């Protein structure tokens, strides 16, 4: 499952009580306006307080509200949840810096089962400060000033007064920085379809999770490629995904064209200047590590409502799982002999390199037996299609009639990410 559960809303928050800042940039000091937790995770996190209780909150520029608590956290802290539906509020007050007092806006509540943190700090708070994100040096922190000489760095302008950090990158449409999303690049459905049409040789894999922005559980396609660029920002070892967020659920007229997640920050040092409206970035500093959480088989089993088997398959077309014979809607009967596997186990056998699984599924009146073995390492694909071997024309004997030879069948498929055995159909 995707490691971080996303949430967005189009509600514009009120004013935020700003914490005092030191005049000289200081990272991870008691005077910092937001207390970053180092080394940075994906997504980056910060400390906060509810009364005397310290909690960890994800730093999510893709969420508008100043602060969000997850429903499980509110219950654990003894708070009351007000309202019904996807977006609610709580009586609990959140403090980012104890001397400054609590945030003077409502504390919103959403469901996020399995999230690695207890809530989110959104763009309405982050935009008040300067955020240094230095993944290559395993550090990040907040201050009120930019370092000397930063004007010589490459940068993207951030739209003034936007409810989210919209980056001005000519020729790329609407581009938003979303540090709460773990992978590097998320494309709108239209751009994802165009991307797949342009690079048909790439074998799709999947990622999944739970998000109110997606209307609940989602499964989307992605690819892992060796390089990709958005404007002046070039990236290596890049996960490119179809965006999980549903614009109708979010109350938007249309989806963002491109969303840059925290994976896009892995190879450089960044300075996000909220008050000045700029995102500065250094030269390439290190190679992005292999990603976690990619479904290398291309099948995700999601919880099913009602009687019968607890999980139903969602299969990406032309993925290794598809090639092995699995289809969306197949019901999981057992995996490795376990009839009720946990979501954690399903996550492990579909994402961990070197894992293997024996899967039994039901499709109408048939039982299918499928096995897969994941490769020991994850290797990014090239955007350049593999070269086709040159073929010599057939020799024509003197006096013989020339006959047209049909062209060779196209071979656009890359080797599958997982070795799969063909299904063995059985009848109940």
Phi, psi (rounded to 5 degrees) for 130 = -105, 125
H-only helix segments in 119-206? 123-126, 189-198
What residue ranges define each of the domains in the chain, with the CATH number in brackets?
151-281 (2.40.70.10), 299-377+416-427 (2.30.42)
426 or 416, which is more confident: 426
- What's the pLDDT at 428? 45
Task: List, for residues 343-373, the tens digit of each pLDDT value.
Answer: 888 888 888 888 888 999 999 889 999 888 8
Task: List, for residues 405-423, the tens digit of each pLDDT value.
Answer: 444 444 444 444 455 555 5
- What's the pLDDT at 414? 42
**Three-state secondary structure along 260-279?**
ECHHHHCCCEEEEECCCCEE
Task: Write down the mean pLDDT value for the chain.
Answer: 81
Return the structure tokens found at 69: 């608590």
Task: Tell me: pLDDT of 29 over 60.
Answer: no
Least trusted range by pLDDT, from 137-151, 176-190, 388-402, 403-417:
403-417
Among residues 126, 131, 366, the alpha carbon closest in space to that of 270 is found at 131
- What's the pLDDT at 26? 43
Strand partners, 427: 366
Task: Tell me: pLDDT of 70 over 50.
Answer: yes
19 or 201, which is more confident: 201
Task: List, for residues 371-400, the tens digit of each pLDDT value.
Answer: 888 888 888 999 988 776 666 555 555 554
Position 147 confidence tier, pLDDT thresholds 50, 70, 90: very high
- What's the pLDDT at 390? 61
Return the structure tokens found at 332: 């999981």
- What's the pLDDT at 363? 92
| Exposure class string for 151-190: b at 16+ Cβ within 10 A, else e | eebebbebeeeebbbbbebeeeebbbbbbbbbbbbbbbee
- What's the pLDDT at 176? 96
Among residues 45, 110, 124, the alpha carbon closest in space to that of 74 is found at 110
Chain centroid, CA 211 distance in Å = 11
CA-to-CA distance for 131 and 128, rounded, in angstroms? Answer: 10
Instruction: Please give the full DSSP string across 226-249, using - where no structure is assigned.
Output: EEEEETTEEEEEEEEEE----HHH
Task: List, for residues 94-106, the tens digit of each pLDDT value.
Answer: 998 766 666 777 8
Q: Which residues contact 25 (CB under 8 A, 6 or more apart)?
A: 130, 132, 143, 144, 145, 146, 147
Share of the chain above pLDDT 70, in %: 81
Q: Are strands 175-177 and 185-187 parallel, antiparallel or unpaired?
A: unpaired
13 or 413, which is more confident: 413
Least trusted range by pLDDT, from 83-92, 177-186, 231-240:
83-92
CA-to-CA distance for 423 and 428, rounded, in angstroms? Answer: 15
């Amino acid at each position: 499952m995707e490691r971080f559960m996303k949430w967005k809303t189009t509600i514009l928050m009120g004013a935020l009580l700003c914490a005092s800042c030191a005049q000289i940039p200081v990272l991870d000091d008691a005077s910092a306006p937001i207390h970053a937790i180092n080394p940075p995770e994906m997504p980056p996190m910060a400390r906060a307080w509810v009364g005397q209780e310290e909690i960890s909150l994800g730093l999510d520029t893709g969420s508008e509200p100043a602060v969000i608590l997850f429903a499980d956290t509110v219950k654990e802290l003894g708070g009351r949840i007000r309202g019904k539906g996807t977006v609610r509020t709580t009586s609990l007050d959140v403090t980012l810096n104890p001397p400054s007092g609590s945030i003077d806006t409502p504390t919103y509540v959403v469901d996020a089962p399995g999230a690695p943190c207890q809530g989110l700090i959104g763009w309405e708070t982050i935009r008040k400060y300067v955020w240094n994100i230095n993944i290559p040096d395993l550090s990040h922190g907040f201050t009120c000033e930019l370092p000397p000489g930063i004007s010589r760095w490459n940068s993207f302008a951030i739209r003034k007064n936007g409810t989210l950090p919209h980056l001005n990158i000519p020729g790329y449409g609407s581009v938003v920085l979303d540090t709460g999303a773990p992978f590097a690049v998320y494309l709108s459905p239209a751009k994802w379809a165009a991307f797949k049409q342009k690079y048909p040789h790439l074998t799709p894999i999947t990622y999944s999770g739970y998000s109110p922005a997606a209307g609940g559980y989602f499964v989307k396609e992605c690819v892992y490629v060796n390089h990709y660029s958005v404007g002046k920002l070039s990236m290596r070892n890049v996960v490119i995904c179809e965006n999980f967020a549903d614009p109708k659920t979010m109350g938007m007229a249309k989806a963002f064209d491109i969303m840059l997640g925290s994976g896009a920050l892995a190879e450089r040092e960044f300075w996000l200047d909220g008050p000045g409206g700029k995102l500065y970035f250094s030269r390439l500093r290190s190679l992005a590590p292999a990603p976690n959480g990619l479904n290398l088989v291309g099948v995700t089993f999601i919880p099913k409502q009602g009687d019968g088997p607890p999980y139903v398959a969602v299969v990406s077309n032309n993925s290794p799982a598809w090639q092995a014979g699995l289809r969306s809607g197949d019901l999981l009967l057992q995996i490795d002999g376990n009839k009720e596997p946990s979501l954690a186990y399903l996550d492990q056998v579909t994402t961990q390199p070197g894992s293997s699984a024996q899967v039994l599924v039901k499709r109408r009146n048939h039982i299918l037996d499928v096995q897969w073995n994941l490769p020991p390492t994850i290797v990014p694909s090239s955007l350049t299609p593999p070269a086709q071997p040159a073929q010599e024309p057939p020799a024509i004997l003197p006096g013989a009639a020339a006959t047209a030879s049909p062209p060779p069948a196209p071979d656009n498929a890359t080797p599958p990410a997982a070795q799969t055995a063909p299904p063995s159909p059985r009848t109940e």
